[in-house]
Structure 1
Amino acid sequence: MFFRNIKQIFRSLWRHKSFTLINLLGLSIGIAAVVIIFLIVKHENSFDKFLGDRNSIYRVVTKQSREDKIEYEAETPYPTARFLRNEMASMPITQIHFSDNANVRIGNQDPFEEKNIIFADSLFFSVFDFSGIEKFWLKGNQAKALNAPRQAVLTATTAKRYFGDQDPLGQIIRIDNKVDVQVVGLIKDIPAATHLPITMLLSLGTLTTEFMGGLDPDNWNFTSNGYTYVRLQNINAVASVNSALAAIVKKYGAEERDRNKQMYLQPLSEVHFDTTFENSNPTYTVSKKYLTMLWLLGCFIVLIACVNYINLSTSQAFTKAKEVGVRKSIGASKGQLFLYYMQETVIVTLIAAIIGFVVAGLTLPYVNTILNKSLSFNQLIDLSFLSGALLALLVVSLLSGAYPALVLAGFNPITALKNQLNIPSKQSTLLRKGLVVFQFATSIALIICTIIIARQMDYFHQKKLGFNKEAVVEIPLPDSDSAKIESFRNALQTQAGIQNITFCLGAPVSDNGISVGLRAPQLPSNIEYTAKVIPCDKEYIKAYQMKLRAGRWFLSSEEKNIGSAVVVNTAMIKTLGYKKPEEAIGKIIELGLNNIRPIIIGVTEDFHTTSLHDEIKPVVLTPFPPFYYAAGIRMNPGNMHQILSKIEQAWKKIYPESVYTFSFIDDALATLYEQETKDYNLFKAFSVISIFICCIGLWGLITFIVVRKTKEIGIRKVLGSSVHSIVFLLSRDFIKLVALALLIASPIAWYFMNQWLQDFVYRIHISWWMFLMAGLVAMLIALVSISFQTVKAAKANPVKNLRTE
């Protein structure tokens, strides 16, 4: 009986090929979307799970009252671990420094540009247990690694790139042309799903004052990519460690204002998801709300596909009335018919699932490229996923097939055989219309979200930043040697096409900058004030075309006298309490940059130093040659390829031992909005998918309606109805449903997008036209979807229609 039913089901599916294809398309695309979303969510939730006993690992973070708000930082002063060990002697505590890139040279080989280098002390492997990676330690003595200056531990891929098949142990490598280190260990590659990516470990003793450009890493008031981690033997020890951290701040804080600082422990499991610290994390941070949103999007897309199935199946059910009548007349019960048609749904869902997995596999490389991830189908090979997938398929089958199966099983056999069913009933019509409204409300909401995100993305690129970012290229410098810098300047300033050259720590908007304490006579001593310091030369204002509001820019004499003069932005003037920029000229401030006390000689207009998420903060620009680690070069817009070639030639003559890289300021700005770009791409993709599923569903419904109204259309044409009036007659109900969907979707989309925009200090305003545009787009797509069938029906020969049985 079972196999006979299966055979009959496949015959029925083949007989109604168009409806079967529509259902398979909708369900398979929905399932493919959910599979991709599952892989994304699973990847994000897998961060740091390869670490043994990761629930015992905590990171020290900081909360501090600054001016009238609270700021959070994951970076800690470098002496934190040492001071904390004095208070908690038996506890494994490690201090690290994260470097996102460095030049590495082996002998006379060409240099390498290495990313994700960790400076760590000897307790690093006591805190971080890599036992989750089988045979993690490949070579060397783990117990003695990193316990002395100038030691290095390489990952397998890094060692292979440097030394090929040679044994890396004992090899010497040079870091940033400053220090030689010896390889003492070899480890397996660290999985990509980690908040702390590693390609190379260097002993923390290598991080000297000279290596840090003259800044003392032992200074309590200096933080620059330093992080402190603790492993607790007992979860109840969190309170005692937090108390010890409070005692450290009180005991070692150099200033009264430091006592306004609170240091506490953050569980490692929260690091990847806590957006409070996203600006100071080594890698990106993702909100759990974002992952929940992805799941909801996936669920809605599958629901839209299920709605298609319900609508088409209930519509098609009335064409199966005689089949049901025959089955009931030969003894089939209502329960047997329900199970039969549920079997049909399960088979369609299984076929759609197979197609969906194939589609997901084919699109996965594109998803990885768009989202910059390394998703793999290997993540699906586990019992939890297989059991969850089976349960999900059963749920989808029930959602899709239960109602149509009940409708079919409930037909009266005599009425069905006489073809006298009152179809469709008012209840079924209302249900179908409600489901169509649900489909389009979801799709319109996604379109509205896509439009708003796109507008905010445009705002990122169009908003004036306080400097000119066009045609400016930034080139990292391997060192701040003044003789080489002057040689580089002399080699370029005579080249045609180059307008200005500046040497600095970084562009106005870049990761490079020093956050230091700020003091002035008029500021309260018990409140922490900070400023971002951008070391730069006298050409900086010309290269980035910034504007002065008062005073002047640096002179050559002030470049030679480090710390004598500064130019500040307007936000700094407000912090200092001056009403006009002119009032600040000649005033002295104190900075935690080697405790210099410069005089303010100029005030610029405000300019952005971070993304539009954050408000403009106080900035200090000052000549500080030891920190000139970048060159900013403004070029003529035309023929930039030839100009870049000349720059590279000059670079290789002066820095032959270093890797030449460059980036346009536009590219640097784009990295600030990576997550928003991913959001936009996802919403755009899901909008297209949901609209496509809605469209094929509408096409199926209008096909069924046209077949049912064939004679009515013929009679209307005989009585003189035009093609336009018949098309409008067939389309008007769907137009009304799309309009209703717009009314439902608009407030929902407004609420969620308004919440999303709250993350930006500088943002667009949500306007009425965005909702109208989404409604018009949905309306147009709906009309295009049904127009082919409606126009075809309206133009058909009425005589032929009236003869149709």
Structure 2
Amino acid sequence: MLKNYFKTAWRNLVKNKFYSVITIAGLTAGLCVGIMILLWVQDETGYDAFHSKAANLYKLENRVGTGSSIQIWQNTASPIGKLAAEELPEVKGFTRVCYNYFYDQFTTGDRTIYQKESYFVDPSFFSLFDFGLIKGNKENPFPDNQSVVLTASAAKKYFGDSDPIGKVITSEDTTRFTVTGVIADFPHNSAFNYEMMFPLSLYASKLYGPGKKNGMTLDTDFSDYNYNTFLLLSPTVSLTDLSTKLRNIHLRIRPEDTDVAYLTLPVAKMHLYKSDGTDAGMETVRMFTIIAVLILVIACINYVNLSTARAMLRSKEVSLRKIIGAGKMQLFLQFVLETVVLFFIASVAAIALIPLLLPVFNSIAGKQLQFDIGNMNMWIVIGGCVLATLLVSSIYPALLLSSFEPLKALKGKAALRINDVVFRKALVIVQFAFSVILIAGTFVIGRQLNFIRSKQLGYDKENVLSFSMRYMGKHYDAVKANLLKQPGVVDITRSNNEQIVSYNAQTGNNDFDGKQVGETLMIYPVPVDKDYIPFFKIDMAAGKNFSGLPADSMHFILNETAVRNARIKDPIGKRFKLWDVDGIITGVVKDFHFASMRKTIEPVIFYYRPSQFYRMHIKTTGKDAASVIAAAEVEWKKYNPQYPFEYTFLDDTFNQLYQTESRTGTLFNIFAGIAILISCLGLLGLTAYTAQLRTREIGVRKVLGASVSGMILLLAKDFLRLVLVGILVAIPVAWFVMNKWMQDFAYRTDLSWTVFLVSGLLAVLIALVTVSFQSVKAALVNPVKSLKQAD
């Protein structure tokens, strides 16, 4: 019986090639895009969820400040993890991670390698996290401070295919490190991405000791927030109570830190959430999940609409089957199996296309997704997606087709119920409403990105080349003089930031007249030379710039927000203390946007410290940038011959702030285009069916003198009405969704009504072109031929 069902289903598909191709194309596109988006969602939500202890692993962060100066610091002071493990029974273990600022160049044999992604870690790092120690002792990965653990790719980079255990690499200060372990490369869906790990005790020996840090140690220094701290907690722990206990421990050691609180963030949520519970990337994941569902629903609607619309053409077939004994359940299974055959073809086509399209999708989305046949999680996504779409698409058409009354159908009196017709029209409305929402989303995101890129930032970031000076810092004046002779060099300055202000450096260690007890002013400190402010064309609001004289070490320049938040009236000449320097305010600069437009402008303080100038900034003419880079590299090699010359452009660094938004905008454009394409395929099929059903009417009207344009209008107007209703439904939904998305930006463009008007008009235009294509074809047929076909 099943064999006959499949044979009949195949014959029906072959017989109606036009409709079969349209339906299969729509389903293939929907499944292909839907599956890829869901694979992306699975990858995003799977970050660091693979650790066996993930359910009880938490990252510790600090909330610092008071009033308008509250900030979330992702790093903590070093002692808190150890003290928590010693004093709190609910803390079962801890580990700390710190970036390696001391070593970045290593020699093995006759090869010297410039090393990035190097960190100091506690030995417990390898037991708390499941990163797979391939070689070495997980319980004792660092036998001494001259030990190092490499990733598999780093080991290959240094030693090729030979066994790295026991081999030695030498740092730039001639310290010899023995390889004591090899760890598997960190997965791409992990917040961790290291290549080389040293014992944290080595970091402590270099940073602390006799005469250093006022006698403090790694386990007593609460002034240095430079560590990622992770805790392994009891499953029954109360996170609120734990945060209170951690704060009490902190205040016991540092009672003056009354503005400090502790937050816990599950390791498996680090990628998508912030420690205060707000979304980081989860909003984008939700958005793309909804888009995947919308595209699959649009593809389902195509199938349901074409199946129900063509039900009348199959009414006699169904009736004959019933008369010769076919039961309703048998007919139901027949039509479900027809859907299964069609879906099988579409699924095979989609699965064949996904490996070809994934590289393009990865480049746009910034991912490393792979089509791995052996990956069961991938097949769960694919199987779930296909099954859900199949169930949604097959049940209603099968029920409708199996419900005709035989006698009425054979007499030609069978008709779809009014509810079925209304339902089909409602599906068309929903289909185009979804499409218009996606089109509006592309316009809104594009407008916001253009707003960001065109907004006056308050400083000049164009054509600014930046690089670390390293050993050439002492020769800055000579290097500057040589480079200023280059025809493409406009100006040169120096600071210690790759960006105009470091986004990750803040301090509340300050004082000023009028500061209240317990008040904290979080401020971004920026060491700059005398040329920095005019170099970037930052406008002075009051006072004067640095002069370059030694007295500038006691002078500060604040931005307007810092003055306003500190409530300082007539700030020029007023006292301001930053860390241990008690100086005066000599200037105020106008506010400028140095961070993402998602955030309001925050307090900034410029100070003069030549000893902290690590980076050189060169403004070029743009067209001569290549020759300037070459000249800068020549100067670099004079003082740093063993290091590669690496540079960045400030506008590229700024654009990286909006990398997620740019990718979202690009993907929105693609998804909206696919949604419209699928919708138009369905509209094309429905128009063809309508023309086929009204063949006799078209012939009669043409014989009576109806024009081609009149025939086009006759066939198109009903569909255009449905599209217009879909637009009216979509506009308020699109406004609500995009208005919510825009709320994440402190500075945003207006959500103009013209965006939604243009989106609607574009949908109408696309629908009109689609309907007209088939309508023109039907209207141009010879009326005599139309009447013969109708007979």
Match of 1:497 in 2: 488
SS at structure 2 position matched to 1:106: strand
Question: Per the alignment, do residues 679 and 209 of structure 1 end up closer, same or farther by CA in structure 2, a change over 3 Å counting?
Answer: farther
CA distance in structure 1 between the aligned counterparts of 2:16 and 2:461, rounded to whole angstroms: 60
Mark the CA change 1:539 to 1:150 in structure 2 (over 3 Å): closer, same or farther. Answer: farther
- Name the CA distance, whole Å, in 2 between partners of 1:111 and 1:607: 42
Q: 1:669: how far off?
A: 1.3
Q: 1:574 maps to which residue? A: 564
Structure 2 equivalent of residue 466 of structure 1: 458
Label 1:125 to 1:634 Cα distance change in 2 as closer, same or farther (>3 A): same
What is residue 617 of structure 1 aligned with on the other side? 602
Asked whether the 8 Å contact 1:613–1:760 carries over to 2, the reply is: yes
Given that residues 345 and 401 in structure 1 are in contact (C-alpha distance below 8 angstroms), is that contact kept between their aligned partners in structure 2?
yes
Which residue does 2:302 correspond to in 1? 308
SS of alignment partner, residue 71 of structure 2: strand
- Residue by residue over 1:583-611, the C-alpha shift from the partner in whole angstroms, topping out at 9 and shown as x without a partner, is 2112221123xx22232221111112211
Counterpart for residue 725 of structure 2? 740
Paired residue type of 2:43:
H
Note if 1:657 corresponds to 2:642.
yes
Task: Give the counterpart letter for 1:678 in structure 2.
Answer: R
Q: CA RMSD in A?
A: 2.9
Q: 1:91 to 1:304 in 2, by over 3 A?
A: closer
- TM alignment of 1:254-653, pairs within 5 A: 255=256, 258-276=257-275, 286-378=280-372, 381-382=375-376, 386=379, 389-390=382-383, 392-422=385-415, 425-478=417-470, 482-509=473-500, 511=502, 514-517=505-508, 518-558=510-550, 563-579=553-569, 583-592=570-579, 595-653=580-638
Q: Structure 1 length normalisation: TM-score?
A: 0.91
What is the alpha-carbon distance in structure 1 between the residues aligned to residue 102 and residue 277 of structure 2?
19
In the TM superposition, 1:764-779 aligns within 5 A as 764-779=749-764
Higher mean C-alpha displacement, 541-550 vs 104-113: 104-113
SS state at 1:777 partner: helix
- Tell me, in whole angstroms, the C-alpha distance in 2 between the residues paired with 1:276 and 1:115: 27
For 1:121, the aligned partner's letter is: D
Report the Cα distance in structure 1 between the residues aligned to 2:174 and 2:652, rounded to whole angstroms: 29
Question: 2:30 — aligned with what?
Answer: 30
1:235 matched residue in structure 2: 236
Distance 1:364 1:385, change over 3 A: closer
CA 1:513/1:426 → structure 2, altered by over 3 Å: closer, same or farther?
Answer: closer
Give the Å deviation of 1:487: 4.1
Return the alpha-carbon distance in structure 2 between the equivalents of residues 85 and 340 of structure 1.
65
Whether contact under 8 Å (1:563, 1:597) holds in the other structure is no
Does the CA contact (< 8 Å) of 1:249 and 1:262 recur in 2?
A: no
CA distance in 2, matches of 1:102, 1:464: 40
Residue aligning to 2:710: 725
Aligned residues of 2:263 and 2:275 also touching (Cα < 8 A): no
The whole-number CA distance in structure 2 between the counterparts of 1:371 and 1:751 is 25
Structure 1 residues 385, 190: CA separation in 2 closer, same or farther (over 3 Å shift)?
A: closer
SS at match of 1:186: strand
Cα shift at 1:171: 4.9
- Measured after TM superposition, the shift of residue 540 of structure 1 is 1.2
| Cα shift at 1:240 | 6.3
Structure-2 residue corresponding to 1:802: 787
Q: Which position in structure 2 is the counterpart of 1:282?
A: none
Give the secondary structure class of the aligned counterpart of 1:803.
helix
List aligned pairs for 1:640-719, cutoff 5 A.
640-719=625-704
CA offset digits 1:389-413 (Å, max 9, x no partner): 5455444233222222222222232
Distance 1:610 1:174 in 2: 39
Change (3 A) 1:272 1:774: same
**1:184-216 residue CA offsets vs partner (Å, 9 max, x unmatched):** 33222121221222211122244369879x989
CA contact (8 A) 1:145 1:184 kept: yes
Code of the aligned partner of 1:71:
Q
- Mapped to 1, the partners of 2:183 and 2:413 lie a distance apart of 77
State which drifts further: 390-399 or 640-649.
390-399
Percent identity (aligned)? 31
Tell me the residue number matched to 1:226.
Answer: 227
- Contact 2:483–2:489 (CA<8 Å) still a contact in 1? yes
Q: Secondary structure at the match of 1:464?
A: coil
* 8 Å contact kept, 1:505–1:512: no
Q: Secondary structure at the match of 1:800?
A: helix
Partner of 1:159: 155
Cα shift at 1:3: 0.8
Distance verdict in 2 for CA 1:492–1:513, change over 3 Å: farther
CA contact (8 A) 1:140 1:185 kept: yes
For the residue of structure 2 that corresponds to 1:706, the secondary structure is helix
- Asked whether the equivalents of residues 101 and 115 of structure 1 are also in contact (C-alpha less than 8 Å), the reply is no
Name the aligned partner's letter for residue 590 of structure 1. K
Residue 165 of structure 1 aligns with an amino acid whose one-letter code is: D
User: Hey, what does 1:781 align to over in structure 2?
Assistant: 766
Give the AA of the match of 2:318. Answer: V
Question: Is the Cα contact below 8 Å between 1:509 and 1:668 reproduced in 2?
Answer: no
Report the secondary structure of 1:377's partner residue.
coil
What is the rounded CA distance, in whole Å, between the counterparts of 1:476 and 1:110 in structure 2?
A: 23
The answer to whether the 8 Å contact 2:502/2:524 transfers is: no
How far does the alpha carbon of each residue in 1:137-179 deviate from its partner, in whole angstroms, 9 at most, with x for none? Answer: 2344444444754542211101211232344445554667797
What runs of 5+ residues in structure 2 fail to find an aligned partner?
none
* Cα gap change, 1:655 to 1:617, in 2 (>3 Å): same
The residue that corresponds to 1:123 in the other structure is 124
Q: Deviations over 1:652-677 (max 9, x none)?
A: 22211212111211211121112212
Distance in structure 2 (CA, Å) of the matches to 1:172 and 1:536: 40
3-state DSSP of counterpart to 1:473: strand
C-alpha distance in structure 1 between counterparts of 2:401 and 2:251, whole Å: 77
TM-score by length of 2: 0.92
User: For the Cα contact (< 8 Å) 2:98–2:227, is it kept in 1?
Assistant: yes
Note the alpha carbon deviations across 1:495-524, whole angstroms, 9 max, x for none.
111011111111554646631122212111
Q: Using the TM superposition, give the Cα deviation of residue 702 of structure 1 relative to its aligned residue in structure 2, in angstroms.
A: 0.5
Moved more, 2-11 or 481-490: 481-490
Contact 1:80 1:95 in 2 (8 A): no
**Higher deviation after alignment, 638-647 or 520-529:** 638-647
Residues 276-311 of structure 1 show CA distances to partners (whole Å, capped at 9, x for unaligned) of: 5799xxxxx854343233222212211111110011
User: Is 102-111 or 634-643 further displaced after alignment?
Assistant: 102-111
| Structure 1 residues 391 and 167, CA gap change in structure 2 (3 angstroms) | closer
Letter in 1 for 2:78: Y
**How far apart in 2 are the matches of 1:763 and 1:609?**
16
Task: Tell me, in whole angstroms, the C-alpha distance in 2 between the residues paired with 1:99 and 1:728.
Answer: 72
